[in-house]
Chains A and B, each alone.
Chain A
Amino acid sequence: MPVMTLQIGAEPEVRLPVRTGETIDAAFTRAGYARRRKGCRRGGCGQCLITVLDGSVTDDRPVADTVLPPARRAAGGALACRAVPLGDVAVRADAGSIRCVSPLQRELALRELTRITSPES
């Protein structure tokens, strides 16, 4: 199960579990985070744009070039609602664009992360 390291602005980075095949949006939503601009959630408006700093993602559906221009994509741009991590990834979102709205869900996600990353005994 991949691990996503999420950097929101200048906040301390957060490490969250990503289930196989789920989008970046789905992973941090499950972990109790929400985007300030929720947008269309289907890759048509571009409001969920984040930057992949490390690791690889693939789009679960085609994304229009008018929404994510090739040059931006080449520079690490991805739509959080469409991008599925292929392994561990590090992503950056603009300051204030994502925040924790459901602390218990975040706690449960961090426990899940501990379970999947601790060595097998």
Chain B
Amino acid sequence: MSVMRLGYVHVRVTDLDDASRHYEKTLGLQAMGQEGPRRYFKGWDEFDHHSVVIEEGGVGLVKLGMKVSSADDLTRFEANLARFGVTTERMAAGESHKVGEGLRVFLPTGQTMELYTDMEYVGNELGTLNPHAVIRDPRGLTVPRLDHMLIAGEDPALTERMFTECLDFHTSERLITDIETNDLVATWLFAGQTSHDIALIKGEQGKLHHFAFWLEDWQSILRAGDVFAYDDTPVDYGPTRHGITRGTTVYFFDPAGNRNEVFTGSYRCYADTPTITWTMDTFPRALSALQREVNESFLTVFT
């Protein structure tokens, strides 16, 4: 499969300094510099220049980036997407800071996605010659990397087909109304071996639900909550375990109100892994296997 991972999420924030403190001090990302009204950050275990971009002014998603193995893949994807009927445009190297040339895809759900092959290499914090195994001095959550995101739109089913038919994604889990009607409410899609790189939910066009960072274990999820208490980070939902994906999690908001998540556990997926289906009558347990009740802010806050 040629899409390797979710490479970056670029969001608007109402106050650049407040948001920087959140991403650098609370999440523990490395600050990678500023260019215009944008600041760049990466996790300690990421080797490309950045995985988070925050831009001053407003709130919500600007765009997302997915890293692709080769230029041949981009050519193949461009043809697939043209046949499918999705609008794309070629992007030149440098249009996005530190990102090479690629293909910009305008998703049916309204978001802008950039497929690229190159980003400036900076190396992770441990190095590649006889490295240590951990970051010695944690800073806040000390997240190693960006993991996935969830976006909303009017037609998640069409967008799911775009990802699976054009970009080699597979579906790990789907949430439908019921077996008889089989209308799609939400879907979780993977390009690698994690249970999802991107998920789609039926809702307001173009909106962002959350973007998530990986943590190593449940203990780290608890520690995240402890750090949030120090930094007055508002908690949305959790710590808990999702029924969907089996992942353990806690959701919280950045200083502009964009929702973040830290996530771990879940399970490994391959191209032949059977898809899991959830029906809405079981939604409370799908959302939280532990609380087994609906959290209203989780369902209603989008930016």
A residues touching B (Cβ–Cβ < 8 Å)? 37-45, 47, 61-67
Binding site for A on B (CB under 8 A): 12, 14-15, 18, 57-60, 234, 236, 253-259, 296-297, 300-303
- Which of B256, B296, B300, B302 contacts A42, CB < 8 Å? B256
Q: Give A26 to B168 CA distance when docked, in angstroms.
A: 48
User: Which residues of B lie under 8 Å from residue A44 when comparing CB positions?
Assistant: 14, 59-60, 253, 256-258, 301, 303
Partner of B300, one of A37, A62, A66, A67: A37
Please, which residues of chain B bring their CB within 8 A of the CB of A38? Answer: 296-297
Q: With A45-B301, A45-B303, A66-B58 as given contacts, are A40 and B253 in contact (CB-CB < 8 Å)?
A: yes
B16, closest chain A residue (CB): A62
22 CB contacts below 8 A, A to B, read A37-B296, A37-B297, A37-B300, A38-B297, A39-B297, A39-B301, A40-B253, A40-B259, A41-B234, A41-B253, A41-B257, A42-B255, A43-B14, A43-B256, A43-B257, A44-B253, A44-B258, A45-B302, A61-B15, A61-B255, A62-B15, A63-B14
Q: Are A47's CB and B300's CB within 8 A? A: yes
Residue of B nearest to A36 (CB): B296
Q: Are B59 and A64 in contact (CB under 8 A)?
A: yes
Q: Which residue of A lies closest to B14 (CB)?
A: A62
Q: Which residues of A contact B254 (CB under 8 A)?
A: 42
Whether B60 pairs with A40 at a CB distance below 8 angstroms is no
